[in-house]
Amino acid sequence: MSAFWCEAALVAPDGGTGVPEVARGVRLETQDGRISAVTTGTGPQAGDTELHGIAYPAAANAHSHAFHRILRGRTHDGRGDFWVWREQMYRSASELTPEKYEKLASAVFAEMVVAGFSSVAEFHYVHHQPGGAPYAEPHAMELALARAAMSAGIRLTLLDTLYLAGGIGTPLSAEQARFGDAGVQAWLDRLSSLRSAIAQTFPPDLVRVGAALHSVRAVPEEDLKAVARQLPADIPLHIHLSEQPAENDACLEAYGTTPAGLLERHGLLSRRLSAVHATHLTPEDIALLGAAGATVVMCPSTEADLADGIGPARELSDAGAAIALGTDQHAVIDPWTEMRALEHGERLGSGQRGRFSPEELLHAATEGAARSMATPVAPPALHVGAVCDFMVVDPASVRTAGTRPLQMPFSATASDVTEVVVAGELLVSRGVHSRLGEPGLLLTEALAEFS
């Protein structure tokens, strides 16, 4: 057993059923990576790790492409349109090897932990060698990502992605060849093998496997049917959905319905589905996703960077969908910025303030992502029985000074995160990862290996 004494913390009394509140003098006892006792209004005891600031549950990153971190600050030449970004993305993907990816992902995951994330859903599709031939170890890239997560101490849900076409009715391009498999059955077989390999090698509370469909553009309708019939029911399923109007237009032309309608046609809309982006939806799409109780993963900083648009988050939430947050291409890795950007996008699109309350934003950054994950995720407030994953925020920085604790999503940034604890282990102190060191140095070294 170990214990942390926090100057203040966001706690939920009565085992998580009470109304969350910021209490002073909070002592958290831990056992096997979970919170075993919470005492408020108390002082530290001998041997406690003392943490000054306000402790909040760690954030969950519900959508990540780790290698896209290469693109930050490199895709804005000229006017920096989407095609500049896409060209650089394919170039970066072509340069990945298992060794280079493990080094890069370790640095990216360390950046996430230092920012306050304790878990990530990695939407992974770079499976094979350039040209599409499997590696001698068929899961070489996937195992590299799992090792990187273990090094950084972040909980990983590895979303192995089905990617069979370059567009509806279009074969994979040369740049996409390493993303694909011989067919949907080959992917299902490889997914099963990967699940076994991960389960035999890594702790299940830290690394587990989920599934993803890249998009309706990349998975033909007949293959969607096979996934619906054969995908194991006990793993999460993610998909990029209606990110661009062109995707909707192509789907309507080919299948006579929207991407959400196509998923509904084949029974793929459910509570286990996470629809990523969902930016360009019809009212009927919103109703379908809400009625299914699906999770919608918004990535506001990426959607702004790529000029994708502002998704209907408020309407989706009101319809019954769960809202989660992700960092996608990592234009920013900062849970507080993503929370704020979600609300700011809503304000810009609607002309109204207060579309999401601070409590709703904290929920989207924590428990809202829980259903996207196969590993445990911290709840919106700390309580007995929850995983001991939390971050401490400085309430007296130039950004946060004067902020009411429950309104921290409207002022804090990752720069205000002073400590991070994952599974009861203090992994971050003052911006330095206890195992790996300064993430900026790790990233600089890893990124030097890419053009």
Same domain (yes/no): 227, 299? yes
Task: Say what the pLDDT of residue 223 is.
Answer: 98
Q: Which residues constitute the domain of residue 40?
A: 2-57+380-433
**328 catalytic residue (yes or no):** yes
Give the span between the Cα atoms of 359 and 363, in whole angstroms.
6
Of the residues 63, 240, 277, 330, which is catalytic? Answer: 277
pLDDT in tens, the chain (451 residues): 899 999 999 999 777 677 899 999 999 999 999 999 999 999 999 999 999 999 999 999 999 999 999 999 999 998 888 888 989 999 999 999 999 999 999 999 999 999 999 999 999 999 999 999 999 999 999 999 999 999 999 999 999 999 999 999 999 999 999 999 999 999 999 999 999 999 999 999 999 999 999 999 999 999 999 999 999 999 999 999 999 999 999 999 999 999 999 999 999 999 999 999 999 999 999 999 999 999 999 999 999 999 999 999 999 999 999 999 999 999 999 999 999 999 999 999 999 999 999 999 999 999 998 889 999 988 899 999 999 999 999 999 999 999 999 999 999 999 999 999 999 999 999 999 999 999 999 999 999 999 9
Q: Is residue 440 part of a domain?
A: no
Same domain (yes/no): 156, 194? yes
Same domain (yes/no): 137, 268? yes
Q: Is residue 269 part of a domain?
A: yes
Residue type, 219: V
Same domain (yes/no): 421, 274? no
Q: Is residue 374 part of a domain?
A: no
Q: Are 116 and 154 in contact (CB under 8 A)?
A: no
Same domain (yes/no): 32, 118? no
Within the chain, how many helices (H) and strands (E) appear?
Answer: 13, 16
Give the span between the Cα atoms of 62 and 195, in whole angstroms.
20
Of the residues 160, 223, 308, 328, which is catalytic? Answer: 328
Strands ordered across the beta sheet of 117-124: 59-64, 117-124, 155-162, 207-213, 237-241, 273-277, 295-298, 322-325
Residue 444 makes CB contacts below 8 A (sequence gap 6+) with none
Same domain (yes/no): 358, 302? yes
In 3D space, the residue among 433, 441, 440, 437 whose CA is nearest the CA of residue 417 turns out to be 433
Would you state the structure tokens that stand for residue 203, as one six-digit string? 């702790």
> What is the dihedral sign for C-alpha 186, 124, 260, 293?
positive
In 3D space, the residue among 59, 36, 149, 128 whose CA is nearest the CA of residue 435 turns out to be 149
Q: Is residue 408 part of a domain?
A: yes
The 8-class DSSP code of residue 94 comes to: H
Same domain (yes/no): 253, 391? no
Same domain (yes/no): 304, 406? no
* Unique residue bearing structure tokens 């943490």: 51
Q: Is residue 448 part of a domain?
A: no
Q: 245-263 burial, b for 16+ CB within 10 Å, e for fewer?
A: eebbebbeebbebbbbbbb
- Among 313, 348, 369, which residue terminates a domain? 369
Same domain (yes/no): 160, 270? yes
The total of structural domains in the chain comes to 2
Same domain (yes/no): 173, 249? yes
Query: 3-state SS of 21-86?
Result: EEEEEEEEEEECCEEEEEECCCCCCCCCEEEEEEEEECEEEEEECHHHHHHCCCCCCCCCCHHHHH
Q: Is residue 438 part of a domain?
A: no
Give the span between the Cα atoms of 151 and 143, in whole angstroms.
12
Q: Is residue 273 part of a domain?
A: yes
The CATH number that applies at residue 328 is: 3.20.20.140
Same domain (yes/no): 299, 389? no
Q: Are 233 and 210 in contact (CB under 8 A)?
A: no
Task: Say what the pLDDT of residue 16 is.
Answer: 67
Q: Is residue 205 part of a domain?
A: yes
Tell me the CA distances in angstroms from 275 to 62, 245, 288, 292, 324, one per residue in order.
10, 16, 12, 11, 10
Distance of CA 87 to the CA centre of its chain: 24
Same domain (yes/no): 351, 314? yes
**277 catalytic residue (yes or no):** yes
Residue type, 198: I
Task: Say what the pLDDT of residue 371 is.
Answer: 85
